[in-house]
């Protein structure tokens, strides 16, 4: 695949602002996601894809017809078009660093923002490669515009090389994955694939079919405000009760102290006054029993604090967000095996591990479309230090082509 063509395509995508909005229930949650969707709609038609369809909810689907004279399962590839609201995606200025020398990369001289392998050790894997970074003032958007680039590039390559045999392939570019809604309006029946792969992982080689079970919890603590000079026996300071709640949860079961299969409670927002305090948590665990125990622990803690005060001051609103896709993928593990075989054929070491987060693939798997996750190549998502090696984008594109070929031969 042409390296400069890949770079140009990726840069075009990331310079279109598609940040999603967690507070807007509309589809898509931001109008600007349409900007990239329409660019992709036009591009898919230009490269020769069939059935290019952009629906009213900003889901873009297209078909690469089979060039076989026999039937094989229809497969799909998915990558979301939005970027995270955790950090601004406006006015992205990609910086291209050729033949990376393994030293610090100065992202922004004026603000002295440095991407250093002393802190981000993974950089050293990519010495001699071409690294694309931000200018330190925005995220890059490789999550998941690297995945979008890979899918479009792979489809273009297959169209330009009809000698490569493949079955019918469906692609979809949904909105709003970063705010947890990417699969909500995904029409699995319309998509029509037996299984699919999200191209939404991180470093080269990642292959994932397990993810967290996830819930969101809003803890509300009601207090009573009176003049502090006359407060004895009357004032109830909700912030102090909130402090009790926070400290009663296991201090080592937080994101910054856990890894692998270890779950956590993550306090990500809090707002308080004497009269009212709210705590926003996410609750995560790979094991369903432990996940349910975590949720119960928070509900039980509220009851303990209410009993202590003799009043119902603490309430917990709990909402499940998504579940571990392992339950839906394990019965069809051959779809993971195919991707693993392709990587090994390409001398890529498969890194099969649980996702410490979520993916559209989780919700899609529960909607009837088993959907493991494959590396897209980026690192340090959702922030100013995000980067992606161009060679990883190319390899991921080649993995897509390899999967198409593997399915064509395996099911002959």
Residues noted as catalytic: 82, 177
- Crossing angle for the helix pair 142-160 and 3-14, to the nearest 10 degrees: 140
Helix (H) or strand (E) holding 265: strand 264-272
Residue 179's nearest CA partner among 59, 354, 57, 28 is 28
- Rg over CA atoms, the chain: 23
Q: Using CA atoms, how far apart are residues 392 and 231, in angstroms rounded to an integer?
A: 63
Tokens 């979008």, located at residue: 148
Question: To 5 degrees, how large is the angle CA 262–CA 264–CA 269?
Answer: 155
Tokens 């090696």, located at residue: 389
Residues in the chain: 412
Distance (Å) of CA 278 to CA 13, 33, 234, 240, 394: 38, 31, 21, 12, 46
Do the Cβ atoms of 360 and 199 come closer than 8 Å? no
Task: Respond yes or no on whether the N-terminal peptide bond of residue 322 is cis (omega within 30° of 0).
Answer: no
- Crossing angle for the helix pair 33-47 and 3-14, to the nearest 10 degrees: 150
The rounded Cα 16 to chain-centroid distance in angstroms is 18
Kindly list the strands in the beta sheet with 276-285, ordered across the sheet, starting from the edge strand earlier in the chain: 264-272, 276-285, 213-222, 314-322
Distance (Å) of CA 334 to CA 73, 99, 341, 405, 411: 13, 38, 10, 15, 12
DSSP 8-state secondary structure symbol assigned to residue 15 = T
């Amino acid at each position: 695949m042409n390296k400069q063509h890949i770079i140009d395509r990726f840069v075009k995508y990331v310079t279109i602002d598609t940040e999603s909005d967690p507070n807007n229930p509309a589809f898509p949650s931001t109008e600007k996601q349409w900007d990239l969707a329409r660019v992709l709609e036009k591009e898919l038609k230009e490269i020769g894809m069939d059935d290019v369809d952009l629906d009213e909810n900003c889901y873009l689907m297209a078909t690469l017809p089979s060039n076989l004279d026999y039937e094989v399962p229809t497969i799909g590839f998915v990558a979301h078009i939005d970027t995270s609201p955790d950090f601004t995606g406006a006015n992205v200025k990609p910086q291209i660093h050729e033949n990376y020398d393994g030293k610090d990369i100065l992202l922004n001289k004026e603000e002295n923002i440095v991407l250093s392998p002393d802190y981000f050790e993974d950089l050293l894997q990519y010495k001699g490669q071409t690294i694309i970074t931000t200018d330190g003032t925005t995220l890059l958007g490789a999550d998941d515009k690297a995945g979008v680039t890979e899918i479009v590039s792979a489809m273009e390559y297959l169209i330009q090389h009809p000698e490569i045999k493949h079955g019918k392939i469906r692609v979809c570019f949904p909105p709003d994955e970063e705010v947890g809604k990417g699969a909500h309006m995904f029409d699995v029946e319309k998509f029509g694939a037996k299984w699919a792969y999200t191209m939404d992982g991180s470093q080269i080689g990642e292959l994932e079919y397990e993810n967290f079970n996830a819930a969101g919890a809003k803890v509300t603590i009601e207090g009573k405000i009176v003049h502090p000079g006359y407060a004895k026996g009357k004032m109830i300071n909700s912030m102090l009760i909130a402090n009790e709640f926070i400290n009663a949860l296991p201090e080592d079961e937080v994101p910054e102290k856990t890894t692998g299969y270890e779950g956590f409670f993550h306090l990500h927002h809090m707002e308080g006054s004497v009269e009212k305090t709210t705590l926003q948590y996410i609750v995560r665990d790979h094991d369903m029993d432990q996940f349910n125990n975590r949720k119960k622990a928070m509900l039980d803690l509220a009851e303990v604090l209410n009993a202590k005060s003799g009043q119902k001051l603490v309430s917990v609103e709990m909402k499940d967000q998504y579940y571990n896709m392992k339950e839906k993928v394990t019965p069809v593990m051959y779809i993971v095996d195919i991707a693993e075989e392709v990587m090994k054929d390409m001398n890529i070491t498969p890194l099969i591990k649980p996702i410490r987060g979520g993916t559209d693939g989780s919700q899609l798997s529960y909607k009837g479309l088993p959907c493991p996750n494959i590396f897209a190549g980026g690192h340090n998502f959702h922030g100013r230090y995000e980067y992606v090696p161009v060679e990883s984008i190319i390899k991921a594109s080649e993995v897509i082509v390899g999967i198409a070929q593997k399915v064509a031969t395996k099911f002959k």
